[in-house]
Amino acid sequence: MQLLRLFRTTTFRLALIYLLLFLAAVLPLLGFIYWSSLMLLERQTDETLASEVAGLEELYRTSQLAGLIEAVTTRANRADGGLYLLARPDGTPLAGNLKRWPGPRDEPQGRISFDYRPKDGGEIRPARGEYFLLTGGVWLLVGQDVSQLRRIEGLILQALGVALAATLCLGIVGGIVTSRRMIQRLEAINHTTRDIMAGDLGRRVALKGSGDELDQLAENLNAMLDQIERLMVAMKEVSANIAHDLRTPLNRLRSRIEVALISLDEGGESASVLERTLEETDQILTTFNALLSIARLEAGTVASRRETLSLAETAAAVVELYEPLAEERDVRLVCEVSGPGHMTGDKDLLSQAIANLLDNAIKFSPQGGTVRVSVAPSREPQTVEIGVSDDGPGIPEADRDRVRGRFVRLEASRNQPGSGLGLSLVAAVAQIHEGRFVLEAAHRTQPPGLLARLVFPSLP
């Protein structure tokens, strides 16, 4: 698995390609070395043979066949690897240390390679020789044992093979090492990016300090992230500032309406217009306040009051608060608890988050539907989870991330009252509790419903 991953990396493939190119260059070179050293050795043998042949020929010319036979016999008895054969025209030996003519003799002179068995027995050995026809119809063969030569050839071949293998090994190991280093650095960048996508916008890619391409990439990524963070902060600040700055005039507007209402008779037309205005002002103020509390939660300026609490009890209290509402809407509200679910948190904020989830679940449940609240240890270790599920239309997978944003309301919910800030607040509460907020389908059947899960680190 690890190897497969390694192979898929660009660096490793690059290393392989380099290795192949290198091999393409090295193989002919090695071949040339092999071939030329072979040639050198063979030429040496051939030159020795040629000079010997020349000497014997000279002797034949000066001292006739008898002299030649004597010389051949003498030389053949020297155990220096030299091979000699003087043969009659039909090939039967006259003198020398070969028992018979080893090959064809079509041409008047030529070169042959042959095997022979030495006189003293033993292995068949390789040899090379030169032969020619002397002027009396007599054939002369002068050869040289080349078994030594063959051994040297074998050694050269072996050495070259070892060199090739070493090249291959070094190439592959080098490829793996460099690509692993590369992978580790890229993996670090990927890891950081994933953290950032998971919401930790403050993370930055670590620099190695060498100023290489990867460092440059990291620097650029970091600069991009700074820019994104600035923009996001600016966007949040703008909405928070608008809310903050408009709150004071709205407050005054509200108190003016209230004071005006005091002096009006109840039930009059002006009074009812003012009352409706007051209600709408309250709606706007509620939205602004929600926006501001989310901004404060996200900015971490809220000193949330942490205490050890039971998630199950907290949830049960909110369920109790919503129970009459569910009954009024003809929705069954079920609370399933396994264990107390101890954790550290701000009870008020957690209650508010659970209340928002319940509010939504009841709002979107059809008549006769069931809203299920469950508190249980999560699948992940050392976490506790609260799930709120409904039988409503659910949220399409593509929209699930989006609905946590501010003011996002899906078409399906446009006709329902609400500010579109409920889930943003839940997400913010999850964030300051180091928890996760997950939305998924509640059922496999239609309608899918929505299951909202909050997963928090738990206490033992």
Partner 1 sequence: MRILVVEDDREAAAYLVKGLKEHGHVVDHAGDGAVGLEMALGGPYDVLIVDRMLPGRDGLSLVNALREVSDATPVLFLSALGDVDDRVRGLRAGGDDYLPKPYSFAELLARIDALMRRRNPDQVKTRLVVGDLVMDLLSRKVKRGDTVIDLQPREFRLLEYLMKHAGQVVTRTMLLENVWEYHFDPQTNVIDVHISRLRSKIDKSFPSPLLHTIRGAGYTIRAAA
Decide if residue 324 touches partner 1 (CB under 8 A).
Answer: yes
Strand partners, 451: 389, 440
327-to-323, 364, 377 alpha-carbon distances in Å: 6, 14, 28
What's the closest the beta carbon of residue 303 comes to partner 1, in angstroms? 5
Q: For residue 299, state whether it binds partner 1 (rule: CB under 8 A).
A: no
Q: Does 127 bind partner 1 (CB under 8 A)?
A: no
Closest to partner 1 by CB, 70 vs 282, is 282
Could you tell me if 83 and 59 are in contact, meaning their C-beta atoms sit under 8 angstroms apart? no
Instruction: Decide whether 14 or 264 has the Cβ nearer to partner 1.
Output: 264
Q: Report CA torsion sign: 355, 357, 360, 364.
A: negative
What's the rounded Cα separation, in Å, for the pair 363 and 80?
Answer: 110
Asked if residues 386 and 311 have their Cβ atoms less than 8 Å apart, the reply is yes
Residue 333 Cβ vs partner 1, minimum distance, rounded to whole Å = 12
How many residues bind to partner 1 according to rule CB under 8 A?
47
CB of residue 401 to partner 1, shortest distance in Å: 21
CB closer to partner 1 out of 45 and 352: 352
* Whole-angstrom distance, CA of residue 86 vs CA of residue 92: 9
Cα separation, 114 vs 129, in Å, equals 8
* Distance of alpha carbon 413 from alpha carbon 24, whole angstroms: 67
Locus of tokens 């003498």: 74
Rounded to an integer, what distance in angstroms lies between the CA atom of residue 111 and that of residue 47?
Answer: 12
Among 52, 275, 313, 399, binds partner 1 (CB under 8 A): 275
Which of these, 362, 375, 371, lies nearest to 336 by C-alpha position?
Answer: 375
Q: Are strands 82-87 and 93-96 parallel, antiparallel or unpaired?
A: antiparallel
Instruction: Identify which of residues 229 and 313 has a Cβ nearer to partner 1 in the complex.
Output: 313
Minimum distance from residue 354 beta carbon to partner 1 (Å) = 10
422, 435, 448, 449: residue in contact with partner 1 (rule CB under 8 A): 422
> Could you say which of 40, 328, 415, 445 contacts partner 1 (CB under 8 A)?
328
Kindly give the residue spans of alpha helices, DSSP state H, lying in 78-140: none
Closest to partner 1 by CB, 226 or 348? 348
Among 282, 330, 380, 434, binds partner 1 (CB under 8 A): 282
- Between 304 and 344, CB nearer to partner 1: 304
Q: Are 261 and 271 in contact (CB under 8 A)?
A: yes
Q: Nearer to partner 1 by C-beta: 65 or 302?
A: 302
Cα torsion through 242, 243, 246, 252, rounded to 10? -170
Query: d(Cα 24, Cα 272) in Å, to the nearest integer?
Result: 93
Which position among 1, 4, 24, 262 is part of the footprint of partner 1 (CB under 8 A)? 262
d(CA 422, CA 409): 10
330 belongs to the binding site for partner 1 (CB under 8 A): no
Eight-class DSSP state of 155: H
What value, to the nearest 5°, has the Cα angle with vertex 101 and ends 96 and 107?
A: 115
Does 389 help bind partner 1 (rule: CB under 8 A)? Answer: no
Cβ 454 to partner 1 shortest distance, Å:
16
Kindly tell me which residue out of 179, 192, 351, 365 binds partner 1, with binding defined by CB under 8 A: 351
* Dist. CA 338–CA 140, nearest whole Å: 108
> With CB under 8 A as the contact rule, which of the stretches 89-97, 202-210, 233-241, 257-265 interacts with partner 1?
257-265
DSSP H or E run through 416: none
Q: Residue 134: enclosing H or E segment and its boundaries?
A: none
Closest to partner 1 by CB, 213 vs 265, is 265
State which residue, 310 or 352, has the beta carbon closest to partner 1: 352
Q: Is 286 in the site for partner 1 (CB under 8 A)?
A: yes
Q: Considering only 46-54, 168-176, 202-210, 345-353, which stretch makes contact with partner 1 by CB under 8 A?
A: 345-353
Q: Residue 286 CB, nearest distance to partner 1 (Å)? A: 7
Alpha-carbon gap, residue 120 to 194, rounded angstroms: 82
Query: Judged by CB under 8 A, does residue 67 bind partner 1?
Result: no
At residue 88, what are phi and psi to the nearest 5 degrees?
Answer: -70, 170
Nearest to 201 by CA among 171, 226, 182, 170: 226
Say whether residue 322 binds partner 1 (CB under 8 A): yes
Question: Does 310 contact partner 1 by CB under 8 A?
Answer: no
Q: Does residue 116 interact with partner 1 by CB under 8 A?
A: no
Structural tokens at position 239: 């909405």
Q: Is 332 in the site for partner 1 (CB under 8 A)?
A: no
Residue 436 near partner 1 by CB under 8 A: no
Least gap, CB of 220 to partner 1 (angstroms): 39
- Least distance (Å) between residue 348 CB and partner 1: 5
Task: Name the residues that contact partner 1, by CB under 8 A.
Answer: 247-248, 250-252, 254-256, 258-259, 261-263, 266, 275, 278-279, 282, 285-286, 289, 293, 296, 302-305, 317, 320-322, 324-325, 328, 346, 348, 351-352, 355-356, 359, 362-363, 417-419, 422
